[in-house]
Each structure stands twice: as structure tokens, then as C-alpha cells.
Amino acid sequence: MKMSLVRPLLTRRRFSTSSENLVASVLFERLPVVIPKIDPMVYAFQEFSFRWRQQYQRRYPDEFLDKSDARGKGDYQIDYVPAPRITEADKSNDRRSLQRALDRRLYLLLYGNAYGAPGGKPVWHFPEKVYESEDTMRKCAESALESVLGDLSGTYFVGNAPMAHMVVRPTEDQSVSTSFKRFFFKSQVIAKNEFNIGKCEDFVWVTKDEMMEYFPQQSEFLNKMIIS
Amino acid sequence: MLRLLKPKPIPSGHHLIQRCAVSGTAKGKAKIKAGQALKRSRITTKKPGSESKPGGPTGSREKQERERLYEQCLQAPTPLRYLTQKQREREAEREKLGLISKERQREIDMMKKKNEKYKVSEKPTIIGTPGLDYVSLGLVDVEKLPKYELTVEDGRRLAKEYSRVLMRKHRARQAAESTLLRLKKEAIEALPEGLREAALVPDLSPFPVNRFMATLTPPIQGYIDQVREAANKISGMEKIRMLPRKKPVILFVSTLEWDCYLQFACME
């Protein structure tokens, strides 16, 4: 059977893939905490329409408007100073903290021994695990994340299906002889501010642009897989 | 079997009066001018002659105050009146003749007043509560905003740019989402047989309830504890502290952006 592996993303295999190795890796993301910046054109138009409408709005007497200030019992709020959108982690560029880049998504990257890394040296990779006869690939991915984080209380796996895959062909200096498929599963951070990341030498939380520094060869694949 | 139709009863005399096209009734002959108070909206206080007021003069003063407030609200003015072209020309001609209508007089008085509320705002205004609006929070680059006047042509130009920007973003997002779906389909097809059926099972377990929604400002550590202890301390009183006074201006919520953002954040 001819293997037509013209591009790493095409899979036109004719034989059964039972002898292949499958790796489940997890794209662990933290959703944005603050709304993103507004385009000046959008804001200008909305300001214009607000002022235009206000020209024709009726002006009511002040004592009438003050009647809405009466508050019922049990409706407590304290005056507060809004927290700044650019945190100290932003200024110090501390990539290990989750408080950085609050208006973008952050993804977890580990530095350690990955499956299929060239020469067995530590590289930057997503949390992953080789598939070994579990029920589904999603369970494999969950156990991968569990081994890194300790427990899955702060995570939510989105759906049973993988979100993308890549076929990794072996080169000469790699530790693995056959090519294997890496499936990505999406999971999101739920209601947790910090994690204890174990089982690796180093970890970072990066935005999409910074991730391109860590994976220069796969930039177009990552551009397709991650929107922002 | 043929059935004879009942002859339609001729309405007595109604077909001779001009009929309204929609409701089928005779149109009211007394036309109401624009801006004139509708008769229904006047508050008619029936003063029964036999009843005597308990409070005496104070009672009627309060009542007068209330009546005055109602009047002010019902006849609340606008800084700019909405007039058609024909009405504007007519007003200009009348002014040449020296006749000034009541509304026009009111407009002139308002322009002479010092209060800023009654004028058309010249500078860009703050939308929403003063501390928590987009400009002071740094969400908008004030320098990059285009300059514009409050005219129709400028409005049209701004609207075209706005539409262009949003459509570009929308199309980009649609393309990115279809790419995601395509990648997902390919990934599922690349799975071996048994795992593929497991992946195709839709995951109907409910979404986590505490998934954090992006807000205007980041959450303050320990705020909820402050609120709780303050509430416990002063559980007898009506209210702890008044919030800074907010005028009920129409709050500025860009629903278009918000919907797109919602879709974006929760998408699989």
C-alpha cells in the first residue's frame, strides 16, 4: 500500500492504523478575564449615535431623576476602585503567572521530556500521554492533564472529540522509529487562579503570539488551530 | 347544493364618511398638531366642592409641588426639536414676519440658560457612569478616534466605516471557525475505528456553572469578604452607603461586540 504523506496534515492511509502510536495532548487554555479593547472606529460611531440621540431626548427635572436613587434593604454595594487591567505580572512579564494578559487567552506549555522528541532532550510541548488501551482518547487526555496538575477539579474538557491532529513523521535523530499521530483536546480553566504544575522542569502560560516563538516550524498549523 | 349568500347589510350612512384604510373607521376630523399636549395626558384632579382639605394650606402646597413636577415631566423639553424641512421653512418665514411660536420661544430661552443639560453637547461626552466608562478604563485609544461633527454626512461616513470594520472582523471570525470545524472533522476521521465512535458521541453533560465570564474590570481579591462583613455589621440599617449618583442615561452596551465575544469565548 502506498503511503501518500504529501503534507503532514493529509491522512490518506489505506491500511489499518492499529499498529500506530497515538498520542493525546491537551491544549489547556484560560479564557479572557477582561473584555478586549474596542476599535476606535466602533467607539466613534457609537459615541456619535449616542450624542445624536441625546439631542432629541427630553430633559427631565433633577428631582424626578433622583427618585431612582432610593435603594431597598439588602441591596448592599461598597464603593470600590476598579482594579487595573494591566497587572504586575504584565509589567514584569512573568510567564508563569495566570494574571498576565487578562484580555487574551493563555495556553499552557511544558518544558520536559516529550514523546518523540529528537534525541530525548527536553523540549517545549503540550501536556501529552501515549494512548494505551483506555476507553476513549478523551480519557487518555484527561489522565495526561491529571498527571501534570494533580487533579481535574479546575478543568473542563470541551466535548468528546479532538479538535485537531497532526501526523509526526520520524526524522533520523528521533527516539521513536515509526510516525505517530498527535491528537489535541481542548480544555478550559474553571474558577482557579493558580495551579501546581508538576512532572516537568518548567512551564509557561503564553498567548498565541508568544507561542509562535516556542514552535517556529508549526506556526501555520497553530494559526489554524487557535483563533486568538 | 347551492347556498344563497346572505346579503351584506348596508351600514347606514357610514360609507359616505371618509374611511381610514387600516382600521376601517371614520378618520378623526380634529387633527392634533405635533408636540401639542394630548388631551389624555393632562391630569384632571376633581375637586369636590363639599370636601375640605385636612391640612389646610400646607396640603395644597404639597399638591401644587407635585402638580408642578408632573407638568415639568410631561412637558419636558428637548434641546433640538425634530422638524421636517417644510416646518423649518415655515418657521423661518414666520420669524421674518416677526411671529415666533411658543416652541421656538422655548428653544430660545433654553439656549440662553446656563445649564449644560439643556444644550446640545459640543465635546465628546462620557457614556455611562463616570468611573466605569470605556475611556477612563483605557479600553479605547482616545488619540486614534476620528474627528467628526454632529451632522448627517459625518454620521453616514462614520456608519460606513463602522460597518466595514465590523464586517471585516465578522468574516475573519467565520473563516477561522470553519477552519476549526474542518480540523475537528479531519481529526475525528484520523482516529481508528473504536475510538472514532467514542469521539462521535455528543457530550451532553452540563456546562460548568462557575465558568467565569469576562467582565469590564478584573475581579478584586477579597471584595466579596468586605461586602459580607459590612453587611453583617450593619444588618439593622437600611443601606450602608449610597453609590455615587448616577443619572439614568442610556447605558452604553455594545451588544454587537458582546454577542460576538460571547460566541467566541464559549465556542468548542
Residue B172 pLDDT: 95
Confidence of residue A83 (pLDDT cuts 50, 70, 90): confident
Q: Say which of A32, A45, A82 has its CB closest to residue B158.
A: A45
Task: Give every CB contact of residue B185 below 8 A, 6+ residues apart in sequence.
Answer: none
Q: Say which of B159, B180, B199 has its CB closest to residue A136.
A: B199
Beta bridge partners of A27: A186
Looking at the complex, report in whole angstroms how far the Cα of residue B38 sits from the nearest Cα belonging to chain A. Answer: 17
Cell triple for B81 = 426639536
Residues A125-172: tens digit of each pLDDT:
888 888 887 788 888 888 888 888 887 788 888 888 999 998 887 766
Locus of grid cell 350612512:
B13
- First CA to last CA distance, chain B: 65
Alpha-carbon span A108 to A154, nearest angstrom: 14
Query: Minimal CA–CA distance to A188: which of B199, B207, B261?
Result: B207
Alpha-carbon span B80 to B110, nearest angstrom: 10
Tally of residues, chain B: 268
Highest mean pLDDT: which range of A180-189, A196-205, B122-131: A180-189
Task: State the average pLDDT for chain A.
Answer: 81
Locus of grid cell 376633581:
B46
Task: State the average pLDDT for chain B.
Answer: 74
Residue A180 pLDDT: 84
Residues B165-216: tens digit of each pLDDT:
999 999 999 999 999 999 999 999 988 888 888 888 888 888 888 888 888 8
Q: Is A184 or B124 the better-scoring residue by pLDDT?
A: A184
Residue B44 pLDDT: 59
Looking at the complex, report in whole angstroms how far the Cα of residue B10 sits from the nearest Cα belonging to chain A. Answer: 48
Number of Cβ pairs < 8 A linking chain A and chain B:
249
Neighbours of B103 (CB within 10 A): 16
Question: What is the maximal distance between C-alpha atoms in chain A?
Answer: 86
Residue A73 pLDDT: 59
Residue type present at position A225? M
Chain-chain contact of B77 with A32 (C-beta, under 8 angstroms):
no
Task: Give the pairing type, strands A180-189 and A21-30.
Answer: parallel
- Chain A residues touching residue B218 (CB < 8 angstroms): 33-34, 83-85, 87, 102
Q: Which of B80, B123, B140, B256 to mutate to test the interface with A (most CBs of A within 10 A)?
A: B140
Query: Minimal CA–CA distance to B160: which of B148, B172, B177?
Result: B148
Task: Give the pairing type, strands A106-112 and A202-206.
Answer: antiparallel
The three state secondary structure string of chain A is CCCCCCCCCCCCCCCCCCCCEEEEEEEEEECCCECCCCCHHHHHHHHHHHHHHHHCCCCCCHHHHHHHHCCCCCCCCCCCCCCCCCCHHHHHCCCCCCCCCCCCCEEEEEEECCCCCECCCCEEECCEEECCCCCCHHHHHHHHHHHHHCCCCCEEECCCCCCEEEEECCCCCECCCCCEEEEEEEEEECCCCCCCCCCCCEEEEECHHHHHHHCCCCHHHHHHHCCC
> Which value does ipTM take for this structure?
0.81
Question: What is the maximal distance between C-alpha atoms in chain B?
Answer: 95
Strands of chain B, DSSP E: none
Residue A78 pLDDT: 72
Alpha-carbon span B28 to B32, nearest angstrom: 10
- Chain B residues touching residue A168 (CB < 8 angstroms): none
Query: Minimal CA–CA distance to B258: which of A42, A127, A120, A146?
Result: A42
Residue B29 pLDDT: 54
pTM: 0.71
Residues A2-46: tens digit of each pLDDT:
444 444 444 443 333 456 788 899 999 999 999 888 888 999 999
Alpha-carbon span A60 to A63, nearest angstrom: 9
